Amino acid sequence: MKTKYKFTFFTFFLLALFSCQTEDKMAPPNIIFIMTDDHSAQALSAYGSRINETPNLDRIAQNGIRFDRAYCTNSICAPSRAVILTGKYSHKNGVLNNSQTFDGTQQTLPKLMKEGGYETAMIGKWHLKSHPTGFDYWNVLPGQGDYYNPKFIEMGEYKTHEGYVTDLTTDFALDWLTDRTGEKPFFLMLQHKAPHRNWMPSPKHLTLYDDRDIPEPETLFDDYETRTVASKDQEMSISDHLHLSYDLKVKNAPPRGADWMNHWLDNKLESMTDKQRTDFLDAYEPKNEVFLEANLEGKELVRWKYQRYIKDYLRCIASVDENIGRVLDYLEGEGLSENTLVIYTSDQGFYLGEHGWFDKRFMYEESYRMPLMVQYPKKIKAGASTDALVMNVDFAATMLDFAGLSTPEDMQGESFRSIAETAQESENWREATYYHYFEFPGVHAVKRHYGVRTKRYKLMHFYHDIDAWEMYDLKADPKELNNVYGKAEYADVQKDLEVKLVEAQKKYDDLPEDFMPNLSRKKAEHKALEATYNFIQMPDPKYDNNFETQMSDGMKWIFNPYVSSPLDTWLGFNENDCEVVLDLGKPTDFEQIGLNCYQNSDSWIYYPTAIEFSISDNGKDFELVEKMEIENEGYKGGIQLFQTSKKAQKTRFVKVKTSKMALIPNGRPGAGKKSWVFVDEVMVN
């Protein structure tokens, strides 16, 4: 009997082991990756929101695990999406900012899932310019998409649909899930436009929150006292940069800024159905009349703007919450919940009035941190949470791991499956996250910066046109109001963070010399004149590929119609003046000084409105030779050599400075902002 018992127990053990192995191997989970755009963790009741309730989204956290320290690698829409698709940082996947097109030929998560036996689909906001690849089915919004009656691109075909974008996106996702054959596990990327700017609520939520005031963040009137100039120079403040018509739905507001922003709301109202337009105007116009009559100023105006902004933002989230509830109900109703991995996140966080801001981009917590909730009843314990440091670069590796598929060696992310299943992190899990933001000059004027964050501390370096550091003790200062960089009491912490920063940059192959031209490259040889020149203001790295030759070949640039874009052969300056000092090596006779400039108003490139030519014997004290005032009448394009009148002189140092950059005219994107200036070289005859 004893021997028989042992044999029976061992048999059951083997059967159980075989059953587990067979289950993992033969029944991989379905996966639904749900992502919204700009949904901050502060607006999720699962994360303790003070301002709204999200009962359906909370179901994911209640049935699974909530990640309290999930971070993005680059807090901006397109780059975040590219990171998630590839499992690689921006500098590796080719999308550093919102203007670049995603290369769909590269290795991506959906391609790997499809190769691994999954049926794949992408529905909703894509925002990567190229068409999706690696999906059996895709139906995406073009660009940012519209909230009302949006166009979708279904497998390459443009179609306009009547309705509200969040409802429609969910409809299409449920249709795809319902119409599947069910022979393969599915991988669905369900990506909502909401709650992206400009926050247009659905018809059913137009008056939600009208009966209350939303609590203001403590830092709504932040003065940035200890912060660097980066916090002050941004263009994303509620006080100055929320547009009354475009953002806040005030139809008869006094015009301000670009014409397209002033008329945007009128154009969108025209695209609505009669019922949609009537409901929209009935909800907003009475409130707008009260606002215009009040003629608010100062802090009271900021407070009004905050209330209108935050209520519209939360109204958009209410639709997201309802529609994700529809998806969860479908899974439960079809008996799919137990074996479906559901991931909810956003492409980054967002400022909900903190520091006086809206938008994202900075490495401060509100936009750096992402909501992340994961449910998979078969493997993940309900109601768990973790403070492990995870990043969106980890998402691809994690989903592949859950699917039982291998992670390619060139992916930079790491699977956090074991953390999700146990709520515990291993001893060798990362101690710090790494961040790098590139889009400057650009919309909202947030400086380029990179940094690291541990569970308690954060170090950031702003570079490109400035050299500024910030460091925060997040335990003592969770709102990041007190910059402690350089403080003696934090010297050891600072040193440790600097080491971690270097280690992270080496690990992810993001080395400083690759993105710090202003701090490391200033002088170059002027080959035509056997001289050297020094940039006081450096060109933008986006257009400095010919930095060491373009200003020094002695050749006037000649337009070549067979060259697709002349910008690759010019040095471009944006926001900053072009200021160059040429050292001729010894006192030299000359007759003229010249600077070659390019103008193309369609690309927001204009001649400078002033050019100063100066000379010096010692390189310090410069005498003005001539100042040229330039009229950009009609904003005509072309190439022109601006040069001084013939005037024989002798000098060693020559300085050329462009200033008073033209402003982009009304009716064009970026109206009122400084334009680009493109130059070829300094010429001395």
The CATH number that applies at residue 614 is 2.60.120.260
| Domain total in the chain | 4
**Among 264, 280, 308, residue at a domain's last position:** 308
Report yes or no on 191 lying in a domain: yes
- Cα gap 184→78, rounded to integer Å: 30
Whether residue 12 sits in one domain with residue 154: yes
How many alpha carbons fall within 13 Å on the CB side of residue 608? 27
Residue 306 pLDDT > 90? yes
**Is 330 or 9 the better-scoring residue by pLDDT?**
330
What 3-state class would DSSP assign to 444? helix
Q: Residue 226 — left, alpha, or beta (φ > 0 → left; ψ -120 to 50 → alpha)?
A: alpha
CA distances 98 to 69, 277, 343, 666, Å, are 25, 31, 24, 23
Instruction: Give me the percent of the chain exceeding a pLDDT of 90.
Output: 66
What 3-state class would DSSP assign to 350? coil
Report yes or no on 433 lying in a domain: no
Residue 521 pLDDT > 90? no
Please give the helix or strand (H or E) that residue 331 lies within, else none.
helix 298-333
Whether residue 165 sits in one domain with residue 222: no
Report yes or no on 432 lying in a domain: no
Q: Are strands 649-659 and 137-141 parallel, antiparallel or unpaired?
A: unpaired
Alpha helices in 544-600 (DSSP H): none
Whether residue 472 sits in one domain with residue 594: no
- Comparing CA positions, the residue from 654, 623, 618, 644 lying closest to residue 534 is 654
Transcribe 145-211 into DSSP letters: --SBS-EEEETTEEEE--SBHHHHHHHHHHHHHHHS-SSS-EEEEEE--TT-TT----GGGTTTTTT
Q: Per residue in 385-444, pLDDT tens?
A: 999 999 999 999 999 999 999 999 999 999 999 999 999 999 999 999 999 999 988 889
**Among 462, 481, 514, residue at a domain's last position:** 514
Q: Which two tokens stand for residue 237?
A: 């403040």
**Is 32 or 680 the better-scoring residue by pLDDT?**
32
Mean of pLDDT values over 540-551: 55
**Among 452, 483, 514, residue at a domain's last position:** 514
In this prediction, residue 526 has a pLDDT band, given cuts at 50, 70 and 90, of very low
Whether residue 242 sits in one domain with residue 180: no
Q: Per residue in 435-472, pLDDT tens?
A: 999 998 888 999 999 999 999 999 999 988 888 999 99
Mean pLDDT of the chain: 87
**Is 587 or 431 the better-scoring residue by pLDDT?**
431
- Check whether the bond before 195 is cis (ω within 30° of 0): yes
Whether residue 579 sits in one domain with residue 491: no
Report yes or no on 434 lying in a domain: no
Residue 17 pLDDT > 50? no
- Cα gap 151→460, rounded to integer Å: 40
Whether residue 135 sits in one domain with residue 119: yes
- Cα gap 347→675, rounded to integer Å: 30
Report yes or no on 435 lying in a domain: no
In this prediction, residue 523 has a pLDDT band, given cuts at 50, 70 and 90, of very low
Report yes or no on 75 lying in a domain: yes
- Cα gap 655→674, rounded to integer Å: 22
Whether residue 526 sits in one domain with residue 641: yes
What 3-state class would DSSP assign to 497? helix
- Cα gap 39→316, rounded to integer Å: 10
Mean of pLDDT values over 110-132: 97
Residue 393 structural domain: 2-199+320-422
Q: Which residues, other chains included, contact 7 with Cβ-Cβ below 8 Å and sequence gap of 6+?
A: none
- Cα gap 186→373, rounded to integer Å: 19
**Hey, which bits of 415-558 come out as E strands?**
433-437, 449-453, 457-462, 468-473, 523-526, 531-537
| pLDDT, position 590 | 81
Longest dimension (CA), the chain: 116
- Cα gap 483→470, rounded to integer Å: 6
Report yes or no on 430 lying in a domain: no
